[in-house]
Amino acid sequence: MTKNLVRTLGPGRHADGGGLYLVVDPSGARRRIVRVTVKGQRNRAGKPLRTDFGLGGVNVVPLNTARDRALEHQRLARQGLNPKLHREQEILCFEDIARQVHLERMPTLKNPKHGQQWIDTLEDYAFPKIGRIPVCDIGQREVMQILSPIWTIKHETARRVAQRIKTVLDVAQAHGYREGENPVSLVQSARVLPRLKDKVKHHDAMDWREVPAFYAKLTKQNGMAAKALMFTCLTGCRTSEVLQAVWEEFDSRSVSGLSPTTAPRQIRSTASP
């Protein structure tokens, strides 16, 4: 099997030899498995015990590495040993697990752009510092090394990076690659990072003393947008309330003879202010 085939083969199970298969899911996700027959062991039906073992996604585990692992599984099986019980436990690094989590979650996301942003932020801020560290060795110190430089200057980005690191470490723990409480949770609960107040950004507004002259200019325009803006000036309604207004919301008896000075007392909208 070539790299081009790995990239282009359609859904199904495709053999590479030696019990190694490429599995392409209908969603397009690609992973490798190895099927072995354990010598001397039988299943419940009395037939030779055949077992499949996952080797990881194609973007996480290179083809040559997958072939080496498949050979090791076959070696154990020929000795009558179940690879699941006798293979050496391999601790993956943070980047390996993060990319696998990304691949598994991509098909569930409605917006592919968000999925790409998910991995991009880790590539920019996390992988350079902890990407090749085994997940079992990542603690609060490593988390702080990532978050501290960007916490105050790129707070929203830092917050998202923290959440994504936490997700990767949670998945790693669920697969038995690490133990103990998630270091991101510990950093957050300890409140060692500065507390930041959201900066209030007001919309631009016209000085109220300029409104009468502005309103007079609007009265000389015939466009619907101008009429809607006049209505907004007179009532103080929100933009959505004006754009989505229906006739049932108005009392037609009180809208005659409107003027910029009398209209606020005369016109009535049932929409909430």
Per-residue pLDDT, 157: 94
User: CB of 18 within 8 A of CB of 37?
Assistant: no
Tell me the C-alpha distance between 134 and 121, whole Å: 19
* Domains, the chain, ordered by start: 3-86 (3.30.160.390), 94-190 (1.10.150.130), 208-266 (no CATH)
% pLDDT > 70, the chain:
88
Q: What is the DSSP string of 203-224?
A: PP---GGGHHHHHHHHHT--SH
Tell me the C-alpha distance between 156 and 162, whole Å: 10
Question: Which of these ranges, 110-114, 172-176, 218-222, has the smallest mean pLDDT?
Answer: 110-114
Q: What angle do CA 245, 249, 251 make, to 5 degrees?
A: 130
SS3 113: helix
Confidence of residue 269 (pLDDT cuts 50, 70, 90): very low
SS3 26: coil
**Residue whose C-alpha is closest to residue 66's, from 51, 52, 56:** 56
Per-residue pLDDT, 273: 38
Per-residue pLDDT, 271: 39
Per-residue pLDDT, 114: 82
Long-range pairs for 66-75: beta carbons < 8 A, 24 or more residues apart: 66/20, 66/32, 66/34, 67/16, 67/18, 67/20, 69/34, 70/18, 70/19, 70/20, 70/34, 71/18, 73/19, 73/34, 73/36, 74/18, 74/19, 74/34, 74/36
User: CB of 161 within 8 A of CB of 145?
Assistant: no
Tell me the C-alpha distance between 155 and 137, whole Å: 26
**Residue whose C-alpha is closest to residue 76's, from 41, 43, 47:** 41
Tokens of 194: 């500065």
Q: What is the mean pLDDT of residues 114-135?
A: 90
User: CB of 255 within 8 A of CB of 265?
Assistant: no
User: CB of 76 within 8 A of CB of 120?
Assistant: no
Question: Which of these ranges, 58-62, 84-88, 226-230, has the smallest mean pLDDT?
Answer: 84-88
CA dihedral 170, 171, 172, 175 (to 10 degrees): 120
| Range among 17-26, 50-59, 88-97, 197-206 with highest mean pLDDT value | 17-26
SS3 135: helix
- 28 versus 74: the higher-pLDDT residue is 74
pTM over 0.75: no
Give residue-wise pLDDT tens across range 138-164. 999 899 999 999 999 999 999 999 999
Query: Above 70 in pLDDT, residue 256?
Result: no
Q: Which DSSP state fits 12?
A: E
Residue with tokens 């919301």: 249
Question: Which of these ranges, 64-73, 88-97, 101-110, 247-256, has the smallest mean pLDDT?
Answer: 247-256
